[in-house]
Structure 1
Amino acid sequence: MTKPEKHNNSYINREISWLQFNARVLQEAEDESVPLIERLRFLGIFSNNLDEFFKVRYATVKRIVQAGKGGKSELGGMKATELLEIITQIVIKQQSDSLDILSNIEQQLKTENIFVIDETQIEDFHHEFIKNYFIQKVSPALVTIILNDSVELPNLKDSAAYLAVRMEMNENQKQFALIEIPKTINRFIELPHNRGRNYIIMIDDLLRYFLNDIFNIFNYNSISAHMVKITRDAELDFESDLSKSFIDKISESVMHRQIGQPVRFVYDKNIHQETLQYLMSKMGIDSQDSIIPGGRYHNRRDYMGFPSLGRADLLYEKIEALPLKGLSLEGSIFSEISKKDYLMYAPYHTFSYVVKFLREAALDPKVKTIKITIYRLAEISHIASSLINAAINGKTVTVSIELQARFDEQANIDYAQQMEKDGVHLVFGVQGLKVHSKMCVIEREEGKKIKRYGFISTGNFNESTAKIYTDYTLFTANQSILKDINKVFAFFETNYQIFKYKHIITSPHYTQKVIFNLIDNEIKNVKSGKPGYLKVKMNSITSYKMVDKLYEASNAGVKIQMIVRGICCLIPGIKGMSENIEVISIVDKFLEHSRLYVFGNNNNPKVYISSADWMTRNIENRVEVSCPIYDENIKQELLDTFEISWNDNVKARILNEAQDNIYRKNNKNKIRSQLAIYDYYSNKLKK
């Protein structure tokens, strides 16, 4: 993998650090111990990540350049123009690596009698099938654009893949065209088996096979097709029209995203140069854009959906999500939570508890109100249907739905409109702040009193992602915590009023201050001869203020262990700056998404689960909640699972100044933390 040079003595640039995270994803595709079809799917994840990176982060840096700003303070001491060039070089190298990995995987698939063929390798026994498939499914779905010098090119769709067609006519004339690869049809077409062999052809190659049929009205001498893809700036631009609702503004902005400025153009490196220059001219792409030569196929994110082919031996072994010990899905969940707190750790535990909680609340005549935050929902959401059910049953249901959840805006708009129609009271957060906190509180009439029940999570209330994202959810009837949570919902309604909280830590008003105080306490303990340590698990750390505070703690002698999945602007292990900080990153079957903060507190740890990473946006520009853990058994459970993750010596990479993503290897027994944590919870059920 590419090793970017360090440009600053104190920080690693966030964009470069992110690219090195994606390199860890690519390592999974390269890892021969990973099942073969799963390796293809990691290639898809790598490609999908890269698409989002260019839409968001690369586009941001490009806007800094276009605005004529140096951007040094925002970019870790690096000039924006310099950073764009470094990004492009890293991506070109990673794309080249990924093509080599794909070629290797396809060779290994052949040894498993799985053949991914192109248009030149179609066998006679496949002809009838592919002819019918093309006529019945593919041809009606095609959008074909004939290019003409006198006609302006329509705006090409963001991240759609196109075949750029070149026809050589008589008298040295050329005719160019574009075929949009249909997204409504599976990219991978399973062909009939033969002699125990599986055959797959990509729809791109099926189109190449039928080029003569598609362009039969043109009198050409030769025809060729090469793939291109354009990625556009995904920033949402809002109109100032006060007569439009917030939903309407978001909807229009999402539509405008399809015609955003191009920030990346990827093309098949074998394309004819004349064709390439013609397309770039028509699309208005210039040298300021990131122009990436690639292989024959783009949109490799589609490999995330590579067919299983009935080959369980080439996939990860499925695990069955576990129940929570002592918390039945059959009885009343409220009666159990009223006795003690419970911690759900998805995907090791079943997400059904969240759905059960809301369904019971929707039906229980004693439940009067339900308040919940929503950031991302599943495509078919039992969460949404339960909330609608509750509103229909006469409950007062308040939903704070984040319409600006990036790339899920339209889905959230659709759900918001559906819920509003059925009587759910919608709150669109606070102007200028995204609501990223994950929480729910209900009020239930018990005797002459109102009692609150709720849950606070590190991740989205999404049944689909809960199967692959690791996240904590605390179910509690702790009235003190839930009183604080209720204040956050009050803030949504009256955001000119800033509340004080006795238990939870909230952004944007208190997170940095409270975390700094907790770190200062560790520094104080060390200076007094007492133990001082931090153990944190998060997705990313980019806030320089937080990094500097950790450096201060390290210099005071506080021992800091960090598990950071993604971006890490902190440089660990530097004498005189960060020698007491160690950082690892775990990339494996599940996406590590949970956030955990542990402060030693003189060996009486203070433990929090949180929706917030230590990024400037989470601390200053979002509504976030960090929730304390008071139940001693749950606290120990969190410490135990952190230690299991920290001792991973199979899927953990060491993050360091070199950013070389070396695996942590030692002579201890092999610990693959995700499997070990599942075993940990399985064993708890047996006790």
Structure 2
Amino acid sequence: MPHQRLPLINREISWLYFNDRVLQEAADPTVPLIDRVRFLAIFSSNLDEFYRVRVATLSRLANLNEKAKEVLGYNPKKLLTQIKSLVVKQEQKFNNLYENIIVKQLAEEKIFLLNDKQLNVTRGVFVKNYFREKLLATLVPIMLDPAMPLPELRDRAIYFFVKLTKNRKSKLALIEIPDNLSRFLVLPETNNLKFIILLDDIIRYNLEDIFFIFDHDAIEAYSVQLTRDAELDLDQQVSEKFIDTLAKSLQKRKKGKPMRLQYDAEMPEDMVQYMVGKMGLNKESLIASSRYQNFKDFIKFPNVGRPELEYTRYPALPVDDLSFGKSLMNTIAKKDCLISTPYQSFDYVIHFLREAAIDPKVKEISISVYRLAENSRVVHALINAARNGKKVNCLVELRARFDEQNNIFWSNRMEEGGVRVIYGIPGYKVHSKICLVTRVEKGKHVHYAALSTGNFNEKTAQIYADHTLLTRSRRLTGDLVNVFKSLNRGMLPRGLKHLIVSPIDSRPALYKLIDNEMKNAKEGKEAYMVLKMNSLADEEMIAKLYQASNAGVKIELIVRGMCCLVPGVKDYSENITVISIVDKYLEHARVLIFCNDGDELIYLTSADYMTRNIDNRVEVGFPIYDPDLKKEIREIIDIQLMDNTKAREINASNNNKYHKTDSDTPNRSQIDIYNYLKYKNK
């Protein structure tokens, strides 16, 4: 199979179709109404990040010469045009969904979103009082001079572009909408009717109070939002100056190159052209949208109606044999344990760290963290351990995109608390989620470990579906000791026997597992793989999967996000099926299952099948040895493969068609997994 001829979906286009699946959730009438609003917010937030990172990269590539484009295998300028076309269609779908469906259905629930034109006298007085008490002092308009450059607009901040008119002469101004106040103000209830107004409309209602010194006949305001290039140009050398360098780069990010200007579609053309001219934007960068920008804020949309307007919050389930009132290490010493969040509580991981912090027998804790919660109980446990005289090593990945500032803050707090903070390896992000506790038992060092597919982050663990293994297995902890020794020296781990660690081991180890399935298929034995991940984009890995398909290996893929592999193509992928599950929780676990001639091998990992995860990051994959836990993971994956409610087929048409199974019963995997874990031992 020549490399150039591989059937592939472009990764950016595939990602946009993933975000379309998020939009499908917002459109799904079976999803509770407030959660549909929140899916709109997730769609919007995703698109912001896409422009800040992926479109920013493409814009850079578009400036390369023709020879460089040949190397890339595609024309970045054409791709940017294609992206713009898709995004415009999605934005139209988004606006129609919000304005013509969601808002009307909220009204049916007696929840009314009022704008500045819909306030009666009583509510108008309430809004004016709020404006004068909370808002007026924070608003300082910038009057624009056509002869002067436009002031720098902050990345993703919302501005009003204001025009004051008197006798056909106009003045222009900008007002930045503050982001330190709630975007929503709940107004006094009347006759059991609920009313909400956005901060934007409060300001619109009070424009006269802001511009009272200017004589004018008319005043109009339109919202705009600029998305900037978020990529950082960093010195790759890890040194004492690294944090300072990163902090300065984060400041630069706020002034990165403009990538996308979203503006109220009602804005007059002369005002649009004024901004375009002043900012030097091209047509691909312009997106006409609704009167409300930064829709990601709607993730905090208040539910002032019935509880049923939101998804039911199920209580976290217990994990077999684990108890918050007993030593976890005593339990782990007897048997491996698996925590499947958010169905089961992440508090078990916190309890594990707290126990290590106070246990006199524990001498050392080593941990690698990527994204930390804002008020991280993980960090508090590590600081307490250091104060209790333990040796605590914490590798913090400062380059975790969009969490850099938070990670800098916690790094400083940990260093002040006596934790030894390590900043990774030059040229490689450390994306692994691993923890090792060293305990002295009967005069010998014994190791306990927590290995996870997701971050050590108690906030995201409430919505990210992940698996965490707690183990004392010598096979795994022995390798993990060597991983931390290498990381502490700023070196890449090598020569491991059980763990699969990027960037040294992953590609050869995964190819070997796939080759084994191909060999068995050619010998007429049963051969299959079930692979679950967030993203599949590495072309060499896709070529390998095509090769395995042609050899007769049955391959079932569960890929939540972008998937560049095209299933069902003759002579390439006839034995491959792909589904994507988008539902209440974010499917984040990476699970690899290999038939292995009937003796299944199951791995969990922090790595997706993307080039960056395989070749450019430190990732840790770990086998599940315990037969009961292997059975549990297999059954969870089987439940997901049976999903015919929230699973979509990935295919060449990119139509996000809902996945149909042989079952006439509706199977919704996230509900079914909760019930499976609840009742499996009953």
TM over 0.5: yes
Structure 2 vs 1, CA of residues 414 and 495 (structure 1 numbering), >3 Å: closer, same or farther? closer
Show the 5 A alignment for 1:312-351.
312-351=307-346
Show the 5 A alignment for 1:273-284.
273-284=269-280
Say whether the 8 Å CA contact 1:586–1:653 is kept in structure 2.
yes
**What is aligned with 1:209?**
205
Structure 2 residue 158 is the aligned partner of structure 1 residue 158: no
**What is aligned with 2:257?**
261
What residue identity is the alignment partner of 2:95?
A: L
Q: Given the alignment, which residue of 65, 75, 92 partners 1:79?
A: 75
Question: How far is 1:218 from its partner?
Answer: 0.7
Q: Deviations over 1:32-52 (max 9, x none)?
A: 000011000000000000000
Show the 5 A alignment for 1:438-453.
438-453=433-448
Q: Given the alignment, which residue of 565, 570, 578 partners 2:573?
A: 578
Question: How far is 1:310 from its partner?
Answer: 4.9
- SS of 2:597's equivalent in the other structure is coil
Structure 2 residue 643 is the aligned partner of structure 1 residue 648: yes
Question: How far is 1:203 from its partner?
Answer: 0.8
Aligned partners of 1:67, 1:37: CA distance in 2, in Å?
A: 45
Q: Given the alignment, which residue of 352, 360, 375 partners 1:357?
A: 352
Q: Given the alignment, which residue of 390, 393, 396 partners 2:391?
A: 396
- SS of 1:578's equivalent in the other structure is coil
**What is aligned with 2:675?**
679
TM-score (normalizing by structure 2): 0.97
Q: Deviations over 1:361-382 (max 9, x none)?
A: 1111110000000100111110
Q: Deviations over 1:497-546 (max 9, x none)?
A: 65210100000001010000000000000111110000011000000000
Structure 2 vs 1, CA of residues 204 and 70 (structure 1 numbering), >3 Å: closer, same or farther? farther
Aligned partners of 1:264, 1:609: CA distance in 2, in Å?
A: 38
Say whether the 8 Å CA contact 1:391–1:424 is kept in structure 2.
yes
Q: Given the alignment, which residue of 268, 278, 282 partners 1:286?
A: 282
What residue identity is the alignment partner of 1:284?
A: G
Q: Given the alignment, which residue of 184, 199, 210 partners 2:195?
A: 199
Say whether the 8 Å CA contact 1:145–1:177 is kept in structure 2.
yes
What residue identity is the alignment partner of 1:464?
A: K
Structure 2 vs 1, CA of residues 71 and 461 (structure 1 numbering), >3 Å: closer, same or farther? farther
Question: How far is 1:153 from its partner?
Answer: 2.6
Structure 2 residue 181 is the aligned partner of structure 1 residue 185: yes
Aligned partners of 2:408, 2:88: CA distance in 1, in Å?
A: 36
**What is aligned with 1:434?**
429
Q: Deviations over 1:119-139 (max 9, x none)?
A: 110022212311211011111
Aligned partners of 1:8, 1:263: CA distance in 2, in Å?
A: 32
Q: Given the alignment, which residue of 463, 467, 473 partners 1:472?
A: 467
Q: Deviations over 1:307-357 (max 9, x none)?
A: 011521100011111110111111001100000000000000001100000
Root-mean-square deviation over aligned CA pairs: 1.5
Say whether the 8 Å CA contact 1:71–1:78 is kept in structure 2.
no
**What is aligned with 2:292?**
297
Structure 2 residue 513 is the aligned partner of structure 1 residue 518: yes
- SS of 2:596's equivalent in the other structure is coil
Structure 2 vs 1, CA of residues 404 and 169 (structure 1 numbering), >3 Å: closer, same or farther? same
Question: How far is 1:684 from its partner?
Answer: 2.4
TM-score (normalizing by structure 1): 0.96
What residue identity is the alignment partner of 2:456?
A: F
Q: Given the alignment, which residue of 482, 485, 495 partners 1:490?
A: 485
What residue identity is the alignment partner of 1:215?
A: F
Structure 2 vs 1, CA of residues 357 and 197 (structure 1 numbering), >3 Å: closer, same or farther? same
Structure 2 vs 1, CA of residues 335 and 370 (structure 1 numbering), >3 Å: closer, same or farther? same
Question: How far is 1:141 from its partner?
Answer: 2.3
Show the 5 A alignment for 1:44-55.
44-55=41-52
**What is aligned with 2:230?**
234
What residue identity is the alignment partner of 1:395?
A: K
- SS of 2:52's equivalent in the other structure is helix
**Residue segments in structure 1 that go unaligned for 5+ positions in a row:** 1-6
Structure 2 residue 172 is the aligned partner of structure 1 residue 176: yes
What residue identity is the alignment partner of 1:25?
A: V
After TM superposition, the structure 1 stretch with the greater mean CA deviation from structure 2, 438-447 or 137-146, is 137-146
Structure 2 vs 1, CA of residues 218 and 125 (structure 1 numbering), >3 Å: closer, same or farther? same
Aligned partners of 2:182, 2:657: CA distance in 1, in Å?
A: 36
Say whether the 8 Å CA contact 1:325–1:684 is kept in structure 2.
no
Q: Given the alignment, which residue of 1, 11, 20 partners 1:14?
A: 11
Q: Deviations over 1:559-601 (max 9, x none)?
A: 0000000000000011111000000000000000000000110
Q: Given the alignment, which residue of 121, 137, 142 partners 1:140?
A: 137
Question: How far is 1:8 from its partner?
Answer: 7.1
What residue identity is the alignment partner of 1:452?
A: H
Say whether the 8 Å CA contact 1:190–1:199 is kept in structure 2.
yes
Aligned partners of 1:675, 1:241: CA distance in 2, in Å?
A: 46
**What is aligned with 2:108?**
111
What residue identity is the alignment partner of 2:376?
A: S
**What is aligned with 2:244?**
248
Q: Given the alignment, which residue of 544, 549, 571 partners 1:549?
A: 544
Aligned partners of 2:603, 2:246: CA distance in 1, in Å?
A: 34
What residue identity is the alignment partner of 1:538?
A: M
Structure 2 residue 56 is the aligned partner of structure 1 residue 59: yes
After TM superposition, the structure 1 stretch with the greater mean CA deviation from structure 2, 83-92 or 143-152, is 143-152
Q: Given the alignment, which residue of 31, 36, 42 partners 2:33?
A: 36
Question: How far is 1:183 from its partner?
Answer: 0.6
Question: How far is 1:422 from its partner?
Answer: 1.1
**What is aligned with 2:527?**
532
After TM superposition, the structure 1 stretch with the greater mean CA deviation from structure 2, 488-497 or 35-44, is 488-497
What residue identity is the alignment partner of 1:417?
A: N
Question: How far is 1:303 from its partner?
Answer: 1.1
Aligned partners of 1:348, 1:106: CA distance in 2, in Å?
A: 32
Structure 2 vs 1, CA of residues 71 and 207 (structure 1 numbering), >3 Å: closer, same or farther? farther
Aligned partners of 2:624, 2:604: CA distance in 1, in Å?
A: 7
Q: Given the alignment, which residue of 437, 450, 455 partners 2:450?
A: 455
Q: Given the alignment, which residue of 86, 95, 113 partners 1:99?
A: 95
Aligned partners of 2:376, 2:83: CA distance in 1, in Å?
A: 38
Aligned partners of 1:283, 1:160: CA distance in 2, in Å?
A: 16
**What is aligned with 1:4?**
none
After TM superposition, the structure 1 stretch with the greater mean CA deviation from structure 2, 299-308 or 148-157, is 148-157
Aligned partners of 1:57, 1:82: CA distance in 2, in Å?
A: 15
- SS of 1:338's equivalent in the other structure is helix
Question: How far is 1:148 from its partner?
Answer: 1.3
Aligned partners of 1:463, 1:312: CA distance in 2, in Å?
A: 24
Say whether the 8 Å CA contact 2:494–2:504 is kept in structure 1.
no
Structure 2 vs 1, CA of residues 550 and 175 (structure 1 numbering), >3 Å: closer, same or farther? same
Structure 2 vs 1, CA of residues 514 and 242 (structure 1 numbering), >3 Å: closer, same or farther? closer
Aligned partners of 2:474, 2:217: CA distance in 1, in Å?
A: 79
- SS of 1:238's equivalent in the other structure is coil
Aligned partners of 1:207, 1:124: CA distance in 2, in Å?
A: 17
Aligned partners of 1:308, 1:372: CA distance in 2, in Å?
A: 38
Q: Deviations over 1:39-96 (max 9, x none)?
A: 0000000000000000000111111012335665776x32111000000000000000
Say whether the 8 Å CA contact 2:648–2:658 is kept in structure 1.
yes
**What is aligned with 1:3?**
none
